[in-house]
A and B are shown apart, each in its own frame.
Chain A
Amino acid sequence: GENVEQHPSTLSVQEGDSAVIKCTYSDSASNYFPWYKQELGKRPQLIIDIRSNVGEKKDQRIAVTLNKTAKHFSLHITETQPEDSAVYFCAARAGGTSYGKLTFGQGTILTVHP
């Protein structure tokens, strides 16, 4: 089955700096890669996603890149703000299925210091 590894497990940055979180996946047939933000005690919320036929996607301060050959994808947050502090999860949708079964990474605790 699919295996997703996420690094780093914790990330501390100063406000205004950039933050990068990286994930690798094992199933070359995986075709959808969402990123979720989870604040303490809250539900995971989709912040950006990318499909396997696209190499990069950007939404304001957030961008995701995908390297299918290397089987890794990354989340980039620019001009970080204290409210970006949360746990971020990457995920991959298993290939070979017609439904959206997701395999999640272990999470990255991002702390943005004012």
Chain B
Amino acid sequence: NAGVMQNPRHLVRRRGQEARLRCSPMKGHSHVYWYRQLPEEGLKFMVYLQKENIIDESGMPKERFSAEFPKEGPSILRIQQVVRGDSAAYFCASSPNGGNEQFFGPGTRLTVL
């Protein structure tokens, strides 16, 4: 039973480029959370999605960031026109029912040059 998968594990982008981060939840899980971890800080909630629906995006910056979780395929976190301040580790977590249990993926470490 594979755990939560994220790819790429490391992503380097230049300022102004786009970053696309993918998260494949555990088998049978239809709920995904995205968190951002800045260097030497705790994780900050960004967005909570169920299949084809954004339930809570209160932690997402209003501009340049978007997320989706299509009926088929992984959840995608998209960052347009990246800036240096976007450099961070982005973790997704999946849940079978959106409740307390969350299983984290290995994270994508984004570096913006």
B41 closest partner in A (C-beta): A106
Of the candidates A36, A89, A101, A106, the one whose C-beta lies within 8 Å of that of B56 is: A101
Chain B interface (Cβ < 8 Å from any Cβ of A): 31, 33, 35, 40-45, 48, 55-56, 58, 91, 95, 98-107
In the bound complex, residues from chain B placing their C-beta under 8 Å from that of A6 are: 42
B107 closest partner in A (C-beta): A43
Are B98 and A99 closer than 8 Å at their CB atoms?
Answer: yes
Are A34 and B100 closer than 8 Å at their CB atoms?
Answer: yes
Are A44 and B106 closer than 8 Å at their CB atoms?
Answer: no
Given the contacts A104-B43, A104-B44, A44 and B91 also touching, CB distance less than 8 Å: yes
Given the contacts A89-B43, A104-B43, A49 and B100 also touching, CB distance less than 8 Å: yes
With A and B bound together, what is the CA distance between A93 and B43 in angstroms? 13
Chain A interface (Cβ < 8 Å from any Cβ of B): 1, 6, 32, 34, 36, 42-46, 49, 51, 89, 91, 93, 97-107
Are B45 and A102 closer than 8 Å at their CB atoms?
Answer: yes
In the bound complex, residues from chain A placing their C-beta under 8 Å from that of B44 are: 104
Of the candidates B42, B45, B105, the one whose C-beta lies within 8 Å of that of A107 is: B42
With A and B bound together, what is the CA distance between A43 and B4 in angstroms? 10
With A and B bound together, what is the CA distance between A106 and B44 in angstroms? 10
Min CB distance A108 to B, Å, is: 10
Min CB distance A93 to B, Å, is: 6
In the bound complex, residues from chain A placing their C-beta under 8 Å from that of B40 are: 107
Among A1, A43, A97, A105, the one with the most B-chain Cβ atoms within 10 Å of its Cβ is: A43
Are A43 and B105 closer than 8 Å at their CB atoms?
Answer: yes
In the bound complex, residues from chain A placing their C-beta under 8 Å from that of B95 are: 99-100
